[in-house]
Chain A
Amino acid sequence: LAKTTQPISMDSYEGQEVNITCSHNNIATNDYITWYQQFPSQGPRFIIQGYKTKVTNEVASLFIPADRKSSTLSLPRVSLSDTAVYYCLVGGINNDMRFGAGTRLTVKP
């Protein structure tokens, strides 16, 4: 299983774009990259998943360089409600979904 490394915490202000980078140097050929968001006392919620290049949905974008050894979750124009812990997971078919410590994002007014 690929090990992931993320910053422990980040601060931002309302309206700013936030980029959270995850390192996964030993990612395997068949591995995908998935990001989850978790609020206190709730289960994690799926945000976005990608394999290479760029993926965008209604809430975020995911940028994956050609070597796939890292990925960046981009949250456009964050609000106070985006304050949460964000987890990066790397794995493929039938891999255990193992979470790291995540990045605690605090959005300030």
Chain B
Amino acid sequence: ETGVTQSPTHLIKTRGQQVTLRCSSQSGHNTVSWYQQALGQGPQFIFQYYREEENGRGNFPPRFSGLQFPNYSSELNVNALELDDSALYLCASSLKTGTGQEKLFFGSGTQLSVL
């Protein structure tokens, strides 16, 4: 049990719609990262938020956007959904300490299906 919770667990949308996924960080963590994982592949880095600011972004178009709130919870928003957006979306919280490589604590993910 990581203490990271994601909602909803499953979601079905149609092409062109918009979706918002939510993540509650583990207590004491100040960083949230979002990943997209297609079936049979490794998680692909979308972006990271540190103290409410975007702190790195992977190779995803601008229709993928995010927010981090003062309590360090986070949202992932995807506009104009495409069929290829169907995937497991994972949120990971961590604590940046200024030393070493931070350890990621993942939630169980949101399974998004785009029809």
Instruction: Report which A residues bind B (CB closer than 8 A).
Output: 31-32, 34, 36, 41-46, 49, 51, 85, 87, 89, 91-102
Contacts and interface: CB of A to CB of B under 8 A. Distances in A.
Contacts of B98: 93
Interface residues of B, number: 31
Interface string B91-111: 110001011111111111101
16 contacts: A42-B106, A44-B106, A45-B2, A45-B106, A46-B105, A49-B101, A49-B103, A87-B42, A93-B96, A93-B99, A93-B100, A94-B96, A97-B33, A97-B101, A97-B104, A101-B41
B109 A98 contact: no
B65 interface: no
Contacts of A91: 101
A43 B58 contact: no
Contact of A99 (B44, B48, B88, B99): B44
Give the secondary structure class of A's interface.
loop
Contacts of A51: 100
A46 B104 contact: yes
